[in-house]
């Protein structure tokens, strides 16, 4: 069965510094990987995805993520954090060979310090 691990409950970064939110996954087939962001009392907003092709994918709001097959990771990154990036971030995976549901990680709360 597929699973997603986000090892950090919270990440604190000073404004202007680079940020990384970690994600590792487990699927039996090919992974489709996603990052979503959730602001307070809001739904999930899609940030970026990896389906195939370049391992480095770029998404909304200056975020990017790198697919690393050997490490089964899909870490979210941004070169320079903004206070407005403070939110809850979810990594998610779909097993391309099996089914269409998305399995979410437990989420990482990103706190950008002004």
| C-alpha span between 63 and 37 (Å, rounded) | 11
Q: How far is the CB of 64 from another protein (least distance, A)?
A: 16
Q: Catalog residues that contact another protein under the rule CB under 8 A.
A: 32, 34, 36, 42-46, 49, 51, 90, 94, 96, 99-107
| C-alpha span between 16 and 114 (Å, rounded) | 9
Q: How far is the CB of 99 from another protein (least distance, A)?
A: 5
Q: How far is the CB of 28 from another protein (least distance, A)?
A: 16
């Amino acid at each position: 069965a597929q699973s997603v691990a986000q090892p950090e409950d919270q990440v604190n970064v000073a404004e202007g510094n680079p940020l990384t939110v970690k994600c590792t996954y487990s699927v039996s087939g090919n992974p489709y990987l996603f990052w979503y962001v959730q602001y307070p009392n809001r739904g999930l907003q899609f940030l970026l995805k990896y389906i195939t092709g370049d391992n480095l994918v770029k998404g909304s709001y200056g975020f990017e993520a790198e697919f690393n097959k050997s490490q089964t990771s899909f870490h979210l990154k941004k070169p320079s954090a903004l206070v407005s990036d403070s939110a809850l971030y979810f990594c998610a995976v779909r097993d391309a060979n099996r089914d269409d549901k998305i399995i979410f990680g437990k989420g990482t709360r990103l706190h950008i310090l002004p």
